[in-house]
Each structure stands twice: as structure tokens, then as C-alpha cells.
Amino acid sequence: MSSKARRRFLWMAGGVVVLGVFGYFAWGGLGKSLVYFWTPTELLAKGGSAYGTAVRLGGMVVPGSVEWNAETRDLRFRLTDGDTTVPVESRGAPPQMFAEGIGVVVEGVFTPAGVFRSHNVMVKHSSEYRAPEPGKHPAEYYRKLFRSQASP
Amino acid sequence: MDNVAFLAGAYALAFVGIVGYAWSLNRRLRRARAEAEALSEPRSEQR
Amino acid sequence: MRAESVAKFLGVAAVVVLLPGVYLGLVWAPPDALMGNVQRIMYVHFPSWLATGAGYLIGFVASVLYLTRREPRWDWWAEAGIEVGVLFNCTGLLTGSIWGRPTWGVWWTWDPRLTTTAIMLLIFAGYLVVRAFVEDPEARARVAALVAIVGFADVPIVYFSVRWWRTLHQPQSSPETVDPEMVVALRVMFLAFLLLFGYLATRRYLLARTRWETERRLLELEAARG
């Protein structure tokens, strides 16, 4: 091969590799192995094999399901993806943004009792940024849930 | 508290980083130019 | 010196736009209903990523041009774009982390967006390391250009990661999902950071050019002596 043809071949090969990697990520295969969190439905579908392994579970905090015990610092709530709901137990105060109806990702293990025991609660924020409504202090939104209970 | 400390920290870190980089870039540029100068001078003396 | 005066203009313009931009972001625009004032980190976080993208894109295009044309100035632009891109990559990660702590509850998590972003920083920091280790100017430019071109594949992956996979990081915002006053402040900061990027990248280009000329002169002197 002449050096010009060789160079052209290398360019094309490079282009194919780059496009291939890109397409692989975009349409397929690796998407499955890059699952950051499971939904409650996926977790329950695993059945007994899901017990005891460290996983992340993502969903929405069911409104009205949050119980916070300021003395034992136990937090309980129910997590839903719309179809399936899993009870979650955690220790310690959650992030300030935590509230009923908000998206969360919890890290922990699913116990045979059917409860997800979490050691880390993370709040998943949406891509919406809005000004507070008049008359309401911005911090009130996320603080009202815990202000009465969490402060000593 | 409304996490203002986080806000201040983020701005401070970002701008200290950017200004620090601009400052060091200035210094690097000055040194590189001094070096280029020093290199061209002895040669012109030799001629 | 043309590039010199361009840099000067960009630097002055950057400061002139940055000052009102910071005022708009920190004072004029409303806080976020849910996050309060921490959300104002957005005005340095988003623009940081815009400047990062600009830097790596310049690095990619200039590297392609260098390999096809073999003119040293494209190597200078590639080095300049990527080094300044790495700076803004760092400020983007730092501001994101500081925002994440009060909002998510963690400084860092290995979700696909954050992971691919960390890989991106490693790739382009690696580019700078590679440059420091190759002695011969032309071999250095060639190897570096290859690293920049192959490494750039990660940049669109970072961008699309929030659409392809489940992440803790939120997907891209659009003017519809952001309050109009925040959009105004954001646009001013975008412009300010682009000007800032232009100033730094042009200065870095001048540095690369000066160093290359010195290097060439030294090689000439050596050849004349030897």
C-alpha cells in the first residue's frame, strides 16, 4: 500500500471504530450493563436472587408514607415507580431536599422480609428550575417536612 | 441557613481556579518570551 | 501581533460581561423554589461545561487539521483548546460536586454522567501528560493529535449519557424548564465564559507558538554546532 492509501485506510478505520463505539452506547448492548439503579418492579422481578446484594433502587417517595423518628433517627418511607412499591428503611437524617413526592435513589440491600435496608439516600433532582411562588420562602418547601422533627 | 456557604465556596473555587490559571499563563508566557529573546540576542552579537 | 490584540480584546470583554453576569446570577435572578440559593451555582456550572466543550471541540478539530495539513499552528491550537478545556472541566466538576452535596446528599456518585465525565477529564489530562513526555516536536504533535481525536469520542457520550442511561444527574435543561429570568442570567454567563475561554485559549496559543519557535531555534543552533 502506498503511504497515501495507508493513511486513508487508517482514517477510515479510526472513523469506523469511533462510530461503532458511539452506536454501541447509543442503541444497545452496553445500556443494560450500565444500569445505575433498579426500579422497584425490576427488583421484585429478580425474586429471591435480589436478596442480600448491594444495589441502588430509584423511584418516587410515596406521599404520606414518610415516618421519621427523631430519637432513634430511623427513617421509613415507601418507594414507587408507579407500578410497584417497596418499603425502605434508613438510618440518619436524609438530605435537605428529601420530601414526599420527590425522586430518590437509595443504596443498600433488599432483605428477605421484603424491606429495602438503605445506608444512603440520595435525592434525584429534576431539570426544572423555578422561582419560588410569592409569599413562600424558598427554603420552606423542603424544610417544612423536617424542621419540626429534626431540630433538637 | 440556606446553604449560602456552599454557594460562596463554589464561586470562590471556580474563580480562584480561573484567575490562578490566567496568572500562571501570564508568567509562563513572560518566561517563554524572555527565553526566546535571550536565544536571539547572542546570535545577533556573533554576526 | 494580531493574536495578542485579539486576546487583549477578549480579556477586556470577558470582564465587562462577567461582572453584570455575576450580579444577574447572584442577585437579580430569583432563587430556586426547591433548592434556594445553592441553585445559583448553576451560573458557573453550566458555563464551565460550555467552555469545556468548546475547548475539547477545538482540540479535536485542530488535531484533525494538524494530521491532514501538518502545519504547526494547528498543533498550537489543539494544545491551547485542550489545556483551557481541562481547566473548565475541573471548575465544572468542582462546582457540580459542591452543588451535589446539599442537593443530592453526596459529593460524588458513580452514575453514568459523572463517570463518563471523570473519564473525559482523565483522557484530556492524559493528552497533556503525553505532550510532556515526547521530546521531538513533530512526533509529539502527531501522537497528541491521535490521543485528542480518539479521546474526543467520549465527549458526545458525556453529553448523551443523561438520555441513554439512568443517572442521578438530571437531564439537560431547556428554556422551557428554566425560569425566564434565570435564562437571561445564564445567557450572559455563557457569553462571559466563552469570552473568558477565548482570552485564555488565545494566550495559551501564543505560549505554544513562542515555545515552538524557541524549540526550533535551539534545534537549529544544535545542528549548526554539531
* CATH number for position A62: 2.40.50.140
Check CB contact under 8 Å for C200 and B10.
no
Kindly state the average pLDDT of the residues C50-77: 97
Residues A13 and A56 in one domain: no
Which residues of B are less than 8 Å from A139 in CB distance? Answer: 2
User: For chain A, how many structural domains are there in total?
Assistant: 2
CA distances from A77 to A27, B8, C14, C36, C130 (A): 35, 33, 49, 25, 51
pLDDT at A30: 56
* C100-151 pLDDT per residue, tens: 999 999 999 998 999 999 999 999 999 999 999 888 899 999 999 999 999 9
Give the residue-averaged pLDDT of C10-25: 97
Domain that holds residue C22: 2-225
Residues A102 and A125 both lie in one domain? yes
pLDDT at A134: 61
Q: Provide the residue count of chain A.
A: 152
A71 backbone φψ class: left, alpha, beta (φ>0; ψ -120 to 50):
alpha
**B3 interfacial to chain A (CB closer than 8 Å):** yes
ipTM confidence score: 0.93
> Between these two residues, C38 and A12, which has the higher pLDDT value?
C38
For residue A137, the enclosing domain spans 35-150
Rounded to 5 degrees, what are φ and ψ at A20? -60, -50
A52 with A106, same domain?
Answer: yes
Residue spans of the domains in chain B: they are: 1-47
- Taking only residues 6 to 45 of chain B, the set having a beta carbon closer than 8 angstroms to any beta carbon of chain C reads 6-7, 9-11, 13-15, 17-18, 21-22, 25-26, 28-29, 32-33, 35-36, 39-40, 43
User: Which pLDDT belongs to residue A142?
Assistant: 41
- C-beta atoms of B29 and C210 within 8 A: yes
Query: In this predicted structure, what is the pLDDT of residue C1?
Result: 64
Instruction: Give the pLDDT band (50/70/90) at residue A29.
Output: low
Whether A2 and A70 map to the same domain: the answer is no
Q: Which three cell numbers stand for residue A2?
A: 502506498
- Do A78 and A108 lie in one domain? The reply is yes
Q: Which of A36, A123, A129 sits opposite C167 (nearest CB)?
A: A36
Residues A10 and A46 in one domain: no
| In the predicted structure, residue C30 carries a pLDDT above the cut 70 | yes
| A138 contacts in chain B (CB < 8 Å) | 2
- The count of CB pairs under 8 A between chains A and C is 111
**Residue C32 DSSP symbol:** B
Residues A80 and A21 in one domain: no
What per-residue confidence (pLDDT) applies to A146? 37
Q: Is A51 helix (H, G, I), strand (E, B) or coil?
A: strand
Residue % of chain C over a pLDDT of 90: 80
Q: How confident is the model at residue C208 (pLDDT cuts 50, 70, 90)?
A: very high
Total structural domains within chain C: 1
Please indicate, yes or no, whether residues A87 and A101 belong to a single structural domain of this protein. yes
| Residue A152 banded pLDDT, cuts 50, 70, 90 | very low
